[in-house]
Structure 1
Amino acid sequence: MPYVTSLERIGQRRREVRFALQLLTRRFCSLPSEIQTHIEELTIEQLNSLSVVILHFETIADLEA
């Protein structure tokens, strides 16, 4: 397993947050600020899981479930 610095982890997390927000914005056109804030607080693992299931969401309520 390659060595990953804390700066690389921070960069990876920022990219994951940006990717999830882009997907959700494309899907629902706009996001409430509280949802954006919640997504920005997720771990990398949670962001990865979210990115996989976003395409199955039909409404913003699905995101809150």
Structure 2
Amino acid sequence: MSYITTGERIGYERGQQELVLRLLQKRVGELPEEVKKQVQSLSLQELEALGEALLDFTTMDDLLDWLQQHLNQTEN
């Protein structure tokens, strides 16, 4: 039976964060530090959702709108 240690999970999540941040930067341009922090605070499921959503982004506003919607959903 295979299992993932806490260290492996943390490493995987950091890798996902870095990948999504690189893809976002490539898609919409340089990311402000506040936006990077918001992305880094997302759960793994949310990162995966953002990774799929970013394929439709064309501007920084698309990313900001997605993050705003996400923040509104998690607060409710």
Normalized against structure 1, the TM-score is what?
A: 0.90
CA contact (8 A) 2:21 2:36 kept: yes
Structure 1: gaps spanning 5 or more residues: none
Q: Relative contact order (alpha carbons < 8 A, sep ≥ 6): 1 or 2 greater?
A: 1
Give the deviation of 1:61 after TM superposition.
1.1
Q: Which has the larger radius of gyration?
A: 2
Normalized against structure 2, the TM-score is what?
A: 0.78
Corresponding position of 2:40: 40
Identity level (%): 35
- Over 3 Å off, 4+ runs: none
Q: Deviations over 1:4-56 (max 9, x none)?
A: 11111100110010000000111122011110010111111111111011010
Question: How many correspondences in the alignment?
Answer: 65
Structure 2: gaps spanning 5 or more residues: 66-76
Task: Give the CA RMSD over aligned residues.
Answer: 1.3
